[in-house]
Structure 1
Amino acid sequence: MARRPIDDVSFGVRVAALWSASFLLIFGAVWALIFLLNKVSMVTITMAVAIMVCALLEPGVRLLTKIKIPRSLAALIVFVLGIAVLGLLTWFVIVQITDARTSLYSQLQDAAVKIRNWLVDGPTHMSAKQADKYTTDLGQTIGEHRQTIVSGAVSTARSAVGILSGAVFCLFATIFLLMDNGSIWRWFVRAMPRHTHAHAYEAGQVAWRTLTAYMRSLVLLAAINSLAMVPVMALADLPLVMPLAVLLFLGSLVPLIGVTLAGVIVCLIALVTKGVVTAIVMGVALILIVQLFGNILNPIILGKAVDIHPLAILVTVTAGTLVAGIFGAFVAVPLVAVINNATHAVRAHHRDAVAERVT
């Protein structure tokens, strides 16, 4: 038999080539999917938000259906209550930010003055001219660029319309998903090859349980973190306590990175208004609160539903931020958790099926 050229290629090289080709194909498919989703970004974002909101509200619908309320009515009740709570929270945030606008402006001005004095009198020993270059008066800067800000707001009117359209689309998608009770996923499973139906259905159930548990834990821990810091900030006599609590809540919705950035802002305001000691106390208190509640309550709330290593969370959030900004950071961890648990469920289902055939 004539010797084939492939016979001169070692087994290890052939395995490496197959792995490389498989990796390139998978990478190409993922890149194409991201590219297509980015082309319809409004649909992608609104549907992702609707699914996550639905996962958060679904336990309420399930509770009402257990007491013999029809699912459509239960979904409508939970949806209206959820929108009412969201509206009240939005109104509260707007009022707090509006009330704190003057105080925040004053704090930023004081911060600029203190930073300038530190640059001149501190270890850097800058000249007054150099320090002024790095600490330009905030009010003067805003005044000089007021027209630019106004024109920019006018030019983004279409974006505002797009946001409004996306919000309406998200609301309708949420109510339809709450009323659906899994029929969309069952339709999707039926479109797949028959021998994969059991695997896909099991993966979908596990994925939904994972997302529900994650959203419940995320919102509860974010609320606990922010509320626990309120008395600490109040005892330290920090200004802007409620706006900072809202900031901590929103930051806690993005694991690791979000709460870190929010904590840095809290410590900076403490540093400017109350000094170094208060800033250090705020930082230590925030770390203790986040770690304490995270380590004690998170396992109780989540159980085994979401089990991701902290380093994996950091890498996931960073990658999500690079790919899709704030939205990517927000959805990265639940997406990885859902894929991870669904994959384990499919493998377990396959092993059980093989074991049944053997026995």
Structure 2
Amino acid sequence: MSVPTRDQSGRGLRLIADLSLRFLLISAAIYVLLRILNAISLVTITVVVALLVSALLQPAVAWLVGRGVPRPVAAIGVFVVGVVAIGLAVWFAVSQVANNATLIGNQLLNALTSIQDWLVHGPLHLSAKQVDQLGSNLQQTLANNQGTIVSGVFATAGSALSVISGGVLCLFAICFMLLDDGQIWRWVVSLAPDREEPRVAHAGQVAWRTLSAYMRGCVILAFINSLTMVIVMLVAGMPLVIPLGVLLFLGSLIPLVGMVVAGIVVVLVALVTKSVAVAIVMAVALVLTVQLEGNMLNPYILGKAVSIHPLAILLAVTGGTILGGVFGAFIAVPLVAVLNNVRTTVRLDAAAADG
């Protein structure tokens, strides 16, 4: 067994010190960037939403331009149709959830009461005091989270005026992005050193294709998930099918975690309004839907361009939730997908250049 020499140990320490310094510098840069983005959160959220919506609508513009339609006409047409369609969808979702929020809340409270009775009189035989303590802890947790959510909304929005101004700015940004023929990105590429411009341009193309594929696939998969569960709920004779379907659609926009949270609500409503058997059927249907999406539909619709390990999705959504709440959870997965594909592209380009 060989013993490391002093020179070898010194090189090892220098390597560790060099890596540690780089890690600290990168962490400091990310921290400063996040602070800056948080300071201008209204602009940050506006630009991110505009990018996501533009990535969803841009393929339609490209399709029309490829068939001879002038870009201004194609962009404005797609912008109007897309914004109206998204606006109607958002209005429908918000109205369904808002109009049935009280009823869904009452159903959930009844479900919690049924669970408490089962804990006392079921096989666990917990005492009423223990169950009451669990209920109090749950209510306290919900109250604390509700305060955090409300404060976060007001901290981000600031006022109704800022929300309106952000919405108007977002619409203008979407319109300009759809009208743009690549001039904005060419200007960004021009900021890089001359020898790096081809790599930066290629990485940008990969990032945009990844984001477009993700947004398109995410909406399609969310629609398929919610439609599947709506059919199952109709067959089972459950109430509140439309608002629960909307809730499942919105939950499916946040991969893995959102579907689980929305599914728990569906199972609890089935437990209270129907029976334990129906609740079990809903749970099995949700599991099968998630498996169908993950193993069959996800690879086919999204393809390898947005292939992310489930553990990476879970970590990304958790980290995004901690940093940015629901909005952070929503953008975490596409951000990870874009960064992963850009990293792979840059590495392959570097290998090709060295070879």
Given residue 220 of structure 1, which amino acid in structure 2 is its aligned partner? Answer: I
Q: Against the structure 1 CA distance between its residues 231 and 346, is the aligned structure 2 distance closer, same or farther, given a 3 Å change threshold?
A: same
Structure-2 residue corresponding to 1:30: 30
Cα 1:284–1:354 change in 2 (3 A) is same
AA in 1 matched with 2:67: I
1:221 touches 1:294 (CA, 8 Å); kept in 2?
no
Q: More deviation in 54-63 or 94-103?
A: 94-103
Query: Shift of residue 276 of structure 1?
Result: 1.8
Structure 2: segments with no counterpart, 5+ residues: 1-5, 140-152
* Gap regions ≥5 residues in structure 1: 1-5, 139-152
Match in the other structure for 1:342: 342
SS in 2 for 1:59: helix
Match of 1:174 in 2: 174
SS at match of 1:68: coil
Q: Deviations over 1:166-201 (max 9, x none)?
A: 111111111111111221111011112111111100
Report the Cα distance in structure 1 between the residues aligned to 2:191 and 2:235, rounded to whole angstroms.
60
Superposed, which structure 2 residues align to 1:103-142 within 5 Å? Answer: 103-104=103-104, 106-108=106-108, 110-111=110-111, 113-115=113-115, 117-118=117-118, 120-122=120-122, 123-127=124-128, 131=132, 134=135
Change (3 A) 1:155 1:166: closer
**Residue in 2 aligned with 1:165?**
165
Contact kept, 8 Å, 2:317 with 2:330, in 1: the verdict is yes
How far apart, in 1, do the equivalents of 2:36 and 2:105 lie?
Answer: 42
Query: How far off its partner does 1:113 sit?
Result: 4.5
Query: Which residue pairs with 1:200 in the alignment?
Result: 200
Q: CA shift at 1:275, angstroms?
A: 2.2
Deviates more, 1:179-188 or 1:270-279: 270-279
TM-score when scaled to structure 2? 0.86
Structure 2 residue 45 is matched with structure 1 residue 45: yes
Cα deviation for residue 127 of structure 1 reads 4.3
User: Offset at 1:84?
Assistant: 1.3
> CA RMSD of the aligned region, Å?
2.8
Q: CA–CA distance in 2 between the matches of 1:102 and 1:339? A: 41
Change (3 A) 1:105 1:199: closer
Change (3 A) 1:98 1:52: closer
In 1, are the aligned partners of 2:270 and 2:279 still within 8 Å (CA)? yes
Partner of 1:147: none
The residue that corresponds to 1:146 in the other structure is none
CA gap of 1:109–1:346, structure 2 versus 1, over 3 A, is: closer
TM-aligned CA distance change 1:84 to 1:117, over 3 Å: same
CA distance in 1, matches of 2:17, 2:156: 49
Q: Give, in angstroms, the shift of residue 99 of structure 1.
A: 4.5
3-state secondary structure, aligned to 1:289: helix
Q: 1:13 to 1:167 in 2, by over 3 A?
A: same
Equivalent residue number for residue 279 of structure 1: 279
- Counterpart CA distance in 1 for 2:196 and 2:68 is 34
**Partners in 2 of 1:157 and 1:13 — Cα distance?**
48
Q: Which amino acid aligns with 1:231?
A: I
* Deviation string, structure 1 residues 32-52 (Cα, Å, up to 9, x no partner): 111111111111111011101
> Cα distance 1:113–1:25, how it changes in 2: closer, same or farther (>3 A)?
closer
Are residues 245 and 158 of structure 1, via their aligned partners in 2, closer, same or farther at CA, if it must alter by over 3 Å? same
Distance change in 2, residues 1:109/1:303 (3 Å)? closer
Segment of structure 1 superposing worse, 270-279 or 252-261: 270-279
CA distance in 2 between counterparts of 1:270 and 1:22 reads 53
Q: Is the 8 A contact 1:120 1:131 kept in 2?
A: no
- Aligned identity (percent) is 51
Structure number with bigger Rg: 1
Aligned residue for 2:306, secondary structure, equals coil
Mapped to 2, the partners of 1:14 and 1:133 lie a distance apart of 53
Matched, 1:21 2:35: no
Deviations 1:59-106 (A, max 9, x none): 110111111111111111111111111122123224423543564354
CA distance in 1, matches of 2:298, 2:340: 18
- Paired residues for 1:1-359 under 5 Å: 10-101=10-101, 103-104=103-104, 106-108=106-108, 110-111=110-111, 113-115=113-115, 117-118=117-118, 120-122=120-122, 123-127=124-128, 131=132, 134=135, 158-355=158-355
Distance in 1 of aligned mates of 2:333 and 2:156: 31
Letter paired with 2:175: I
Instruction: Show the counterpart of 2:150.
Output: none
Q: Is residue 251–residue 258 contact of structure 1 (8 Å, CA) maintained in 2?
A: yes
> What secondary structure is seen at the aligned counterpart in 2 of 1:69?
coil
Question: Which residue of the partner structure matches residue 145 of structure 2?
Answer: none
Q: SS of the counterpart of 2:90?
A: helix
* Count of residues paired in the alignment: 336
